[in-house]
Structure 1
C-alpha cells in the first residue's frame, strides 16, 4: 500500500497522521500535482492528492474517503465513531477543518499570482472565512480536552492539520492570540509523535 502526496498538503497530512495513529505500514510517495509531468492523474482523474493505492492496485482518493477506509480497516485506535450522532459530530468537525484548509489554500494560491493578476478581494474573502472559522472552532472546543469531548479523534487530526498549514502558508494570520482554547489543543496535539513526524515543510 502506498500514499501519494506532498509534505505540505494538509489533506495528505491528515491521512499520514491517521496511518501513524493506527500503526498501519504504508509507503509514502512524494509527488506534487503542481510539478510538470507528475503521474497523479494516472491514479486519480481529479489530479488531486492524497491518493491511496491499495495492495491490489485499486485506488482511493479524497482524504475523507481515505481516512474512513483506514479507520474501518483495523479495529485499533478508532478515530471515527461507528454510527449515530457521535459519528455525525466528528464528521462535522472534519468538514469544518477541511473547509478551513480549502480557504487557506485558496488564499495562498491567489497570493502567489503576479501583481495585476491577483484579486485582493478574493484573498480578503478567504482570510475572513479563515478568521471566522477559527473563532467558531475555538468557541466550540471550550474547556473540552479534545474537539469531540474526552477522546482524541479524527476531529482533532483534521483541525490540527489545518492549523499546521496556516502556520506554514499564512504565517501573518495570527490565529493564536484570540483563540486560547484552540491554542491549548494545538499545543497538546504537537506533543503527539504523529504530529511531530508530519510537520509540513517545503
Structure 2
C-alpha cells in the first residue's frame, strides 16, 4: 500500500493516525494538490487527498472509506464497531467531525484563496460556514457529557476524527479559541495528543 497526502490535511492525518493505531506499515508520499505539477489526478480523478494506492494498483479515496478499510486489515485496536446501530453512531460522529472541517475549510478558502480579489470575497458565506462550525462543535462537546470518549469506553474512530478536526482548527483558526467554550473537547484533544499516533502527525505548515 501507499498513502498519498499532505502534512497539513486533517483528512490525511485521520488516515495516518488510524494506520499508527492499527500498527500498519504504509509508505507516505506527500503531494501538493494545489501545485500546477500535481499528479494526484492519476490516482484520484477528484484531485483530492488522502488517496490510498493498494497493492493491486487500484486506489481508495475519501478518508472515511480508507479508514473503514484499514480497520479490517488487523484485529489490533478495533476502531469501528460491527455493522449495526453502534457502527452507525460512530460513523455519524465521524461525519459530524468531517462536516465541521468541510465548513471550516470552505470559510478559509473564501477568505484566503488567491484566485479571488478582496471585492469578490463573501463575508456572508464565511459567516454561514463558521455557523456550521459552531453548531458542530457544540454537538461534539455535548457528546462528551457522559464520559471521556464520544462512543464506548475506549478510543475509537469517532474520537480520532474529532481530534483531527480540533487540532486543525487550532492550526488554521486560532482566533476561534474554541477551548473556552468547549472544555470537554479541549480535554479530549489533550488526551489524544499524549498518544504517539497524534503526537507524530502534527500538521506542518
Same fold (TM over 0.5): yes
CA distance in structure 2 between the partners assigned to 1:64 and 1:140 by the alignment: 20
Matched, 1:145 2:148: yes
User: Which of the residues 190, 193, 199 maps onto 1:190?
Assistant: 193
- Alpha-carbon distance between aligned partners in 2 of 1:151 and 1:141, rounded to the nearest angstrom: 13
In the TM superposition, what is the alpha-carbon distance from 1:143 to its structure 2 partner? 3.5
Runs of 4+ aligned structure 1 residues displaced above 6 Å come to none
- Residue 35 (structure 2) aligns with: 35
CA contact (8 A) 1:17 1:195 kept: yes
* TM-score (normalizing by structure 2): 0.96
Q: How many residues in Structure 1 have an aligned counterpart in Structure 2?
A: 202
Match of 1:8 in 2: 8
Within the candidate set 130, 133, 139, 2:133 is matched to: 130
Counterpart-to-counterpart distance in 2, 1:149 and 1:26 = 28
Counterpart for residue 90 of structure 1: 90
1:13-32, aligned counterparts within 5 Å?
A: 13-32=13-32
- CA–CA separation in structure 2 for the residues paired with 1:186 and 1:40: 31
Q: TM-score, normalization: structure 1? A: 0.97
CA contact (8 A) 1:100 1:130 kept: yes
2:120 maps to 117
Matched, 1:103 2:100: no
Deviation for aligned residue 1:149: 2.7
The two structures, once aligned, show a CA RMSD in angstroms of 0.9
Are the aligned partners of 1:146 and 1:185 in contact in 2 as well (CA < 8 Å)?
yes
CA shift, 1:201, in A, is 1.6
**Contact 1:168–1:201 under 8 Å retained in 2:** no
Deviation at 1:160, TM superposition (A): 0.3
Post-superposition CA distance 1:47-68 (Å, at most 9, x none): 1110001122111111111001
State the alpha-carbon separation in 2 of the partners of residues 163 and 178 from structure 1. Answer: 13
1:105 Cα deviation from its structure 2 partner: 0.7
SS in 2 for 1:116: helix
Give SS of 1:172's match. helix
Unaligned runs of 5+ in 1: none
1:154 Cα deviation after fit: 0.4
Give ranges in structure 2 of 5+ residues lacking alignment.
none
- Matching of residue 174 in structure 1 with residue 177 in structure 2: yes
Distance 1:94 1:139 in 2: 15
What is the alpha-carbon distance in structure 2 between the residues aligned to residue 178 and residue 65 of structure 1?
A: 32
